[in-house]
Amino acid sequence: DTAVSQTPKYLVTQMGNDKSIKCEQNLGHDTMYWYKQDSKKFLKIMFSYNNKELIINETVPNRFSPKSPDKAHLNLHINSLELGDSAVYFCASSSMAGRGRGTEAFFGQGTRLTVV
C-alpha cells in the first residue's frame, strides 16, 4: 500500500495549457503539502492544507490553486502554464495535531512537469 501517491509521474505539456496533479494519502494525516523542487534541488513549500483549510500560501502565482475535496486528497491545478513552471512537484502529508504533531512527513514519488 502506497502511503502518499501522486499522479501522473511525468507530465509534458505546452505553454498556456491548464493541468492538474492529483495526490492522495491513506495515512489518516490531517495536513497535506505541495512542494516545488527546482533544478537546484531546493524544496520550496507552495501550500499546506490542514483539515481542508489553507494555512500557508507562499509567494506562489495565483495560476496555482490547491483543491482538497476531503482530508485524504490535495490536488494541484495549474492554469496558463509557463516555461518556468517546469520542475518536480512533490505532495506530502503529516500529522500536526496532538501527540503526532511535528512528526515525520511522508512524500509522494514526485511529478516531473515539463512545459515546452
DSSP tag of 71: T
Residues 6+ apart with CB under 8 A from 29: 71, 93, 94, 95, 106
* Cell numbers for 23: 495526490
- Nearest by Cα to 102 from 1, 30, 5: 30
Which of 79, 109 has the CB closer to other proteins?
109
**Site membership for other proteins, residue 5 (CB under 8 A):** no
Residue 33 lies near other proteins (rule: CB under 8 A): yes
Look up residue 59 and give its DSSP letter.
S
Could you tell me how many residues of this chain bind other proteins (CB under 8 A)?
26
- Which range touches other proteins (CB under 8 A), out of 20-28, 39-47, 62-70, 71-79? 39-47
| CB contact at 8 A, 21 and 102 | no
Q: Closer to other proteins at the Cβ: 75 or 94?
A: 94
Q: Which of 12, 55, 63, 80 binds other proteins (CB under 8 A)?
A: 55
Residues 85-104 that bind other proteins (CB under 8 A): 90, 92, 94, 96, 102-104
Residue 108 CB neighbours (<10 A): 24
Q: Give the binding site for other proteins (CB under 8 A).
A: 4, 31, 33, 35, 41-45, 48, 50, 55-56, 90, 92, 94, 96, 102-110
